């Protein structure tokens, strides 16, 4: 049953780095679990949850470290992850980064399901197996919980201070390492693995947000997710149809729905499930076209306004400032391609 769930090879980078620190023969370890180092030959390679389960259990056995999961989580480096980890650090704040990660987490791996909720003044990030009882390996979940907390701290300032950390496993004889990492109240035999912190941290700006880079990386993530699912998302279907239309005409969702073909209501619901809307897709394509023209200086601001279907330049200028935080004229001066 575990074999239907797969994991990105990028997860192996931190795992093998951790294994090396114990002087464990990584080639032998992989071989014993039906794998080899050739799996690292392509970033698109994936391996099964069952293999990862066996790898971690074998590494715990060989290392003799009861805190292996915590150490594995500490080794996680957001700079050596895949497209999703690069993408989230370009979000505006921790809330957006968490939501984006949840949306695309299957690209990283189907080891767990991540959720974000708020309760009164608290924010709760929880993790659980994709299906009940599919895996019982506390080291995997402790590694994930540690990595999530470590990544959050790397992306924001000031430090993310936790109130509580919850574990499904029984309380171990020694908890010093847990206290050192999470520095908060620890609770055991809880329904889920989770971390709890003041929800004000969700709106703390990230250290290096980049809206344009985020858009580019998210487009790549959508493509990767589609390949993983083996089908095209509705967001991609709508984007493809809209990209072939003349934006100076009045764009209608009815026309796009008919081209797919689905009902307007079905299309709206499908886009909502993908955390977007018809208007958001239209605005994103308009934004990208506007940026292209402004950078290349191929059309006046008035011409761009009508090209994108705005009734007047003032409406375009207002929309562009909302998209980018700058007036189109100022953006053009700052980003014009040198000739």
pLDDT digits (tens, 9 = 90+) for 43-84: 778 888 889 999 999 999 999 999 999 999 998 876 566 789
For residue 270, pLDDT over 80 is answered with yes
Q: Is the residue at 225 inside a domain?
A: no
243/299 same-domain check? yes
- Read off the pLDDT band of 2 (50, 70, 90): very low
Average per-residue pLDDT for the chain: 87
Q: Is the residue at 213 inside a domain?
A: no
Range of the domain at 156: 2-203
245/318 same-domain check? yes
75 or 232, which is more confident? 75
Reference 176, options 61, 75, 73, 70; nearest CA is 70
Give how many domains the chain has, as a whole number: 2
Q: Check residue 79 and give its pLDDT.
A: 56
Q: Check residue 143 and give its pLDDT.
A: 94
pLDDT digits (tens, 9 = 90+) for 280-310: 888 888 888 888 888 777 788 998 888 888 8
177/245 same-domain check? no
133/188 same-domain check? yes
153/47 same-domain check? yes
Q: Check residue 248 and give its pLDDT.
A: 64
43/170 same-domain check? yes
Distances (CA, A) of 55 to 60, 237, 337: 9, 39, 50
Q: Give residue 245's Cα distance to chain centre.
A: 30
Name the domain boundary from 203, 221, 255. 203
Q: What's the CATH number where 183 sits?
A: 3.90.1520.10
User: What percentage of the chain has pLDDT greater than the value 90?
Assistant: 46
Q: Is the residue at 217 inside a domain?
A: no
Q: Is the residue at 270 inside a domain?
A: yes
Q: What's the CATH number where 279 sits?
A: 1.10.10.60
pLDDT digits (tens, 9 = 90+) for 199-231: 999 999 999 899 889 988 998 898 888 778 766
Answer whether 147's CB lies under 8 Å from 140's CB: no
pTM reported for the whole predicted model: 0.67
24/88 same-domain check? yes
245 or 112, which is more confident? 112
160/241 same-domain check? no
196/248 same-domain check? no
Distances (CA, A) of 242 to 69, 221, 235, 246, 281: 47, 20, 11, 8, 9
Q: Is the residue at 227 inside a domain?
A: no
Q: Check residue 311 and give its pLDDT.
A: 84
Q: Is the residue at 282 inside a domain?
A: yes
Q: What is the mean pLDDT of residues 88-109?
A: 93
Q: Is the residue at 211 inside a domain?
A: no
- Read off the pLDDT band of 1 (50, 70, 90): very low
Q: What is the mean pLDDT of residues 253-275?
A: 90
15/159 same-domain check? yes
What are residue 24's phi and psi, to 5 degrees?
A: -90, 135
Q: Is the residue at 278 inside a domain?
A: yes
181/54 same-domain check? yes
Name the domain boundary from 187, 203, 219. 203
Answer whether 94's CB lies under 8 Å from 204's CB: yes
10/65 same-domain check? yes
């Amino acid at each position: 049953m575990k074999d239907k769930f797969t994991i990105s090879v990028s997860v192996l980078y931190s795992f093998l780095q951790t294994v090396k620190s114990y002087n464990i023969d990584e080639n032998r370890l992989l071989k014993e679990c039906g794998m080899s180092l050739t799996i690292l030959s392509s970033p698109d390679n994936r391996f099964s949850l069952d293999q990862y389960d066996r790898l971690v259990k074998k590494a715990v056995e060989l290392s003799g470290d009861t805190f292996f999961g915590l150490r594995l989580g500490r080794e996680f480096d957001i700079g050596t992850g895949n497209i999703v980890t690069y993408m989230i650090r370009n979000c505006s704040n921790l809330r957006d980064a968490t939501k984006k990660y949840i949306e695309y987490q299957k690209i990283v791996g189907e080891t767990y399901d991540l959720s974000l909720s708020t309760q009164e003044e608290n924010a709760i990030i929880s993790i659980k197996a994709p299906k009940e009882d599919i895996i019982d390996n506390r080291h995997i979940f402790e590694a994930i919980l540690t990595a999530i907390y470590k990544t959050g701290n790397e992306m924001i300032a000031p430090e993310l201070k936790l109130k509580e950390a919850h574990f499904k496993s029984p309380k171990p004889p020694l908890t010093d390492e847990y206290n050192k990492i999470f520095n908060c109240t620890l609770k055991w035999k809880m329904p889920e693995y989770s971390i709890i912190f003041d929800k004000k941290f969700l709106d703390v700006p990230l250290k290096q947000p980049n809206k344009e880079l985020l858009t580019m990386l998210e487009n790549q993530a959508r493509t990767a997710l589609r390949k993983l699912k083996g089908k095209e998302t509705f967001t991609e279907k709508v984007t493809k149809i809209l990209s072939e239309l003349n934006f100076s005409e009045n764009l209608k969702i009815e026309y796009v729905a008919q081209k797919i073909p689905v009902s307007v209501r079905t299309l709206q619901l499908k886009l909502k499930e993908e955390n977007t809307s018809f208007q958001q897709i239209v605005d994103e394509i308009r934004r990208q076209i506007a940026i292209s023209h402004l950078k290349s200086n191929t059309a006046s601001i008035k011409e761009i306004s009508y090209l994108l279907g705005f009734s007047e330049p003032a409406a375009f200028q207002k929309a562009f400032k909302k998209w980018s935080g700058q007036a189109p004229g100022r953006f053009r001066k700052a980003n014009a391609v040198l000739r």
